Amino acid sequence: MMKIERGARRTAKPDIFISHSSKDKKSAVHLAKVLNFCSVDVWLDDWELEVGQSLTDEISKAMDESRYIAILITENYNKTVWTKAEYKKALAREQKEQRTVMLPLVIGEAVVPDFLEDKIYIDLRKDFYKGVVHLVGMIHGISRFRISEALNDYEPQNVGDIWRLLQSIG
């Protein structure tokens, strides 16, 4: 597993920024830990922000530097000013860069909001570990075909299974 620097000492640009409602902190931290275990460098506010830093500046910088921005869609996501600003920033970046930047991830009792209705999303409600395999595979550049074939042969039941499955396909 790779060593990831956190906070002001960060030496690499993150693979993914997790945009989430503060009411969903527990789910965001759980997902971030699983992704870290799978060698995905996650930017999560609780892990990165240090006393005295500007919340607005640091989040904006992290969103600009991260390869992807995960939108953790829950029943709480679209109810705060912060999350609305974050998804608007992600959409603007996606349009500017003309590539997929925003990765919608659905958890809990969420209804997919209108601004994401035409996007393919990963549903972590039904099979969390299978969804994580798809997400990690995308971030690491493994083809959807290879991931689908591997998942047809074996369904992961825990984080260790995800790691073994991904190692077996590349």
The residues annotated with a catalytic role in the active site are 86
Cβ atoms within 10 Å, residue 111: 10
Between CA 100 and CA 151 the distance in angstroms is 24
What is the H or E stretch that residue 16 is in? strand 16-19
Residues in the chain, overall count? 170
Between CA 60 and CA 58 the distance in angstroms is 5
Between CA 68 and CA 17 the distance in angstroms is 6
